[in-house]
Amino acid sequence: MLFTILVYGVDGLAEHLPPADREAILQKHRDLQAKLTAAGKYRGAVQLMPPSTAMNVQDKGTGVRVLDGPYAESKEQILGFYLIECDTMKEALEAAKALPQGIAYMEVRPVSWAGGF
């Protein structure tokens, strides 16, 4: 079964960290990726550009419009996500726990349908 680990946090916060702390964060990501790969459970990971690069497309009944955005409701944004193959929620939670904590929080959410890869 496919799960996503959605990573939320304050964009740019990590840039304020000392280089050694930043490196430690990256290392945790690399470790998890290696572990998932070895177990044949790694389907992909994505780090998003800062929200200021994003645009919105929406149609409220007057035709499709392209807008700047997002106009954030809160300072916390989605920073990226993992796509992993797990048998149980418990297993997916274990993977999320292995990611760097404090600087971000993780939402583990099962995938209903996925395609194209």
Partner 1 sequence: MDGGLTGAIFADSRPRALAALMRSFGDLDRAEDLYQEACLRAAERWARDGVPRDPTAWLITVSRNAGLDMVRKQRRLSPVKAETALELEAQEHDSEADVAEAIDRAEHRDDVLRLMFMCCHPELKVHEQLALALKVVVGFSVEEIARAFVVTPDTMQRRLSRAKVRAASLAARLETPGLAERAERLAAVRTMIYLLFNEGYAASGGDDHIRHTLCGEAIRLARLLLELFPAQAELMGLLALCLLQHSRAPARINGEGRLVSLQDQDRTLWDHEKIAEGRMLVEKALLHGRPGPLQVQAAIAAVHCSARTADETDWAEIERLYGALEIFAPDPVVRLNRAVAVGKLRGPAEALALLEPLVEELGRYRPYHSVRAALLEESGDIAAAIEALEAALSCEPTRQEADYLTGRIAFLKKNLEHLSD
Binding site for partner 1 (CB under 8 A): 10-18, 21, 49-53, 55, 66, 68-75, 102-103
Report the residue number, 6 or 14, with the smaller CB distance to partner 1.
14
Report the residue number, 15 or 59, with the smaller CB distance to partner 1.
15
Q: Calculate ∠ Cα 93-95-101, nearest 5°.
A: 85
Closest CA to 75 of 30, 12, 32, 26: 12
- Identify the DSSP state of 48: P
In the complex, least distance from residue 102 CB atom to partner 1, rounded to whole angstroms:
5
Chain centroid to CA 52: how far? 17
In the complex, least distance from residue 36 CB atom to partner 1, rounded to whole angstroms:
23
